[in-house]
Amino acid sequence: MPLGTWLKAGTSAAALVLAMAGAATAAPAPAGESSAAQAAAVTLRYDDSRAGGWEAAIAAGVALWNANVSNVHLVEAAPGTVAEIVIVATTGWPQATLGPVRPGRQVRVELGSQAVDQGYDKTRIAAHELGHSLGLPDTKPGPCSQLMSGSSAGTACTNATPNATERSRVQSAYASGIAALVPTDGRILVDAP
């Protein structure tokens, strides 16, 4: 076979290999998020087995956080497994350990009936206290549009959705899974007015 034919065959083969490699790397990401974003999300388990009467509010608060941030995902802990967020019902004021909680570590959320007795919304309370676990401090006084304004927004406020600033802070706290490297503050934040 003449040299020119070898060169043409080699060039064609190289072009074919490069074209196939390009097609493999240009394949679309799975529906929803890229696989890198999915791998970077931090999963935190919560245990609400001692939060009788708050189950619906907790489920709604968890759903709102999961719908509004992608770097961290809250899931209910399976029976017998250790949870990062332990949620209990109490008779006092709601309070929580300030995070961001790290995988394998643990924070506590107390959902106090005293706030409900005074007219505060259960779902807003649950979402607010989960926000503390995710690293958000109170922003008191503040408007109803700020989830972390807590009781300062008044009893008429039922907003349980984190605003853009709150979402951004949680996204940053759990960016690329770095929450495992960020120490938990450990302070207990009591949400009495």
Catalytic residue numbers? 129
Cα distance between residue 132 and residue 149, in whole Å: 11
Return the number of other C-beta atoms located less than 10 Å from residue 138's C-beta.
19
Residues whose CB is less than 8 angstroms from the CB of residue 159 and which lie 6 or more positions away in sequence, other chains included: 124, 144, 145, 147, 153
Three-state secondary structure of 41-53: CEEEEEEEEECCC
